[in-house]
């Protein structure tokens, strides 16, 4: 394929080389599948980086984008906009109590950055505590909170007053100096490790006692992926702030910071801002995504399919453990095999899955629309390997 080879060399020549890539183009997608330049079909259990919540090019989402693009592509937050009004209403309705208002942004890092900024501004304190093994993004504050050395070490000077501690040391470290504790409740990139619930409850208790704020980074766990609209709702721990992105708009760049009423009272005109955050096209896409999640009962589907995958994968020889919740799952491969070998074997069978920082753990973040058919295809492919 001469044309494809030429285009590949163009991308390699002109894009800064910061990513390892699949060795083919993905220029087309539909539902749970994507297609390469030769028309080969791949089952997407990587979910376009945990983003394709409603699948690729869901007709309701595509229609909403086309309609909004023809009406108004962009106007900033200095004007009211009906797509924005509808999107924030739907988002807050689905998030439920205690979340009261949202600040709309363009990415996960930006959502975390604003959460951290707000925490420091509201408490008047500086210390931010986060967890070893967590990933929070690539901007300065979010990277300074990231507990995976491979990423965090890139900063030779992290933002001051950020402390990264092992999960079991966090609760006891919270003090009158602490502005916030930032938690990725299932550490996805870190190897799909769940922070134990008693640890989360203890941290919340300490935060409440010391006047520190609790922030859940639900950029991967949120928006229905773990079988609840928010993971915090599933585990019944309600932090003051929750950050969302990834699947919130089916792949259109968007994110949100949700805050409680108590917190919202402390935010005033001019405190936060973002030119593109909450743009009409992003909001129309977000609203359509949330409508699909609601109407097609994708919260329930994520939970059912997650349990089905867990059960069927766990019984395969060579799989030590399947961890995570809903459709945010990690398959731990028994040594001496590695997750990389499993990922390569799956790719040969035209199935995409993700790696993690743990060489034994392969990640699955498929679209929330998968059926038993796709789950069975995945399970059979793993068995064959
Ligand atoms: C848990 C978590 N937080 C934050 C981020 C950063 O999001 P973004 O890449 O949209 O800035 C990611 C991205 O992978 C993530 O998985």
Please enumerate in sequence order all residues whose Cβ is within 8 A of that of 2, keeping only pairs 6 or more positions apart, or say none.
none
Position 253 scores a pLDDT of 98
Distance CA(131)–CA(183), nearest Å, equals 7
> Which residue has tokens 């604003």?
114
pLDDT band at 3 (very low <50, low <70, confident <90, very high): confident
Q: What CATH number does the domain located at 2-54+297-384 have?
A: 3.90.1150.10
Report CA(380)–ligand 1 centroid distance (Å).
30
User: Can you tell me the mean pLDDT for 219-233?
Assistant: 98
Name which residue sits closest to atom 3 of ligand 1, judged by CA: 136
Name which residue sits closest to atom 16 of ligand 1, judged by CA: 220
Report CA(287)–ligand 1 centroid distance (Å).
21
pLDDT band at 47 (very low <50, low <70, confident <90, very high): very high
Please enumerate in sequence order all residues whose Cβ is within 8 A of that of 281, keeping only pairs 6 or more positions apart, or say none.
65, 68, 69, 73, 74, 83, 252
Strand partners, 354: 363
* Whether the Cβ atoms of residue 30 and residue 349 lie closer than 8 Å to each other: no
Please enumerate in sequence order all residues whose Cβ is within 8 A of that of 194, keeping only pairs 6 or more positions apart, or say none.
185, 186, 187, 323, 324, 325
Please enumerate in sequence order all residues whose Cβ is within 8 A of that of 164, keeping only pairs 6 or more positions apart, or say none.
129, 130, 131, 132, 134, 145, 146, 147, 152
Percent of the chain with pLDDT over 90: 96
Strand partners, 33: 30, 43
Check pocket membership of 188 for ligand 1, CB cut-off 6 A. yes
Q: Answer yes or no: is pLDDT of 5 > 90.
A: no
> What do you get for the CA distance between the two ends of the chain, in Å?
29
Check pocket membership of 137 for ligand 1, CB cut-off 6 A. yes
Position 4 scores a pLDDT of 79
Check pocket membership of 356 for ligand 1, CB cut-off 6 A. no
Interval 69-116: pLDDT, tens? 999 999 999 999 999 999 999 999 999 999 999 999 999 999 999 999
Q: Where are the domains of the chain?
A: 2-54+297-384, 59-295
Report CA(130)–ligand 1 centroid distance (Å).
15
At 11, list the tokens.
Answer: 């991308």
Tally of CB atoms within 10 A around 24: 17
Task: Give the ligand 1 atom nearest the CA of 184.
Answer: 1
Q: What CATH number does the domain located at 59-295 have?
A: 3.40.640.10
- Sheet architecture: strand order including 328-333: 319-325, 328-333, 361-364
Rounded to 5°, angle at Cα 44 from 41 and 50: 155
Check pocket membership of 220 for ligand 1, CB cut-off 6 A. yes
User: Can you tell me the mean pLDDT for 209-216?
Assistant: 98
Check pocket membership of 218 for ligand 1, CB cut-off 6 A. no
Name which residue sits closest to atom 13 of ligand 1, judged by CA: 137
Instruction: Average the pLDDT over each of 22-26, 97-101, 103-107, 346-350 and give the range with the smallest value.
Output: 22-26
Check pocket membership of 113 for ligand 1, CB cut-off 6 A. no
Position 156 scores a pLDDT of 85
Position 370 scores a pLDDT of 98
Please enumerate in sequence order all residues whose Cβ is within 8 A of that of 270, keeping only pairs 6 or more positions apart, or say none.
none
Q: Answer yes or no: is pLDDT of 1 > 80.
A: no
Interval 285-297: pLDDT, tens? 999 999 999 999 9
């Amino acid at each position: 394929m001469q044309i494809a080879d030429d285009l590949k060399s163009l991308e390699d020549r002109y894009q800064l080389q910061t990513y390892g890539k699949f060795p083919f183009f993905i220029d087309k997608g539909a539902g749970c599948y994507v297609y390469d330049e030769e028309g080969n079909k791949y089952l997407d259990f990587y979910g376009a980086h945990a983003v394709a919540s409603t699948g690729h090019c869901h007709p309701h989402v595509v229609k909403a984008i086309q309609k909004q693009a023809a009406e108004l592509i962009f106007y900033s937050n200095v004007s009211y906009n009906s797509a924005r009004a509808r999107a924030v209403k739907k988002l807050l309705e689905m998030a439920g109590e205690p979340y009261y208002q949202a600040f709309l942004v363009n990415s996960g890092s930006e959502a975390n950055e604003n959460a951290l900024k707000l925490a420091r501004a509201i408490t008047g304190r500086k210390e931010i505590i986060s967890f070893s093994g967590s990933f929070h993004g690539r901007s300065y504050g979010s990277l300074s909170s990231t507990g995976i050395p491979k990423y965090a070490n890139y900063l030779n000077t992290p933002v001051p007053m950020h402390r990264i501690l092992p999960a079991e040391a966090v609760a006891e470290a919270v003090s009158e100096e602490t502005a916030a504790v930032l938690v990725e409740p299932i550490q996805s990139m870190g190897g799909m490790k769940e922070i134990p619930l008693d640890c989360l409850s203890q941290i919340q208790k300490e935060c409440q006692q010391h006047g520190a704020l609790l922030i859940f980074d639900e950029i991967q766990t949120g928006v229905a992926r773990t079988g609840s609209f928010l993971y915090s709702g599933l585990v019944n721990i309600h932090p003051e702030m929750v950050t969302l992105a990834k699947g919130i708009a089916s792949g259109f760049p968007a994110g949100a910071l949700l805050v409680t009423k108590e917190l919202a009272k402390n935010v005033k005109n001019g405190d936060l801002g973002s030119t593109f955050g909450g743009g009409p096209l992003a909001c129309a896409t977000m609203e359509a995504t949330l409508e699909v999640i609601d109407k097609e009962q994708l919260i329930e589907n994520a939970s059912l399919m997650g349990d089905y995958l867990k059960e069927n994968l766990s019984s395969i020889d060579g799989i030590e453990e399947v961890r995570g919740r809903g459709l945010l799952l990690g398959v731990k491969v028994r040594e001496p095999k590695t997750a990389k070998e499993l990922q390569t074997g799956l790719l040969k069978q035209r199935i995409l899955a993700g790696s993690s920082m743990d060489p034994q753990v392969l990640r699955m973040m498929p679209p929330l629309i998968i059926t038993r058919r796709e789950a069975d295809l995945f399970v059979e492919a793993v068995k064959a390997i």
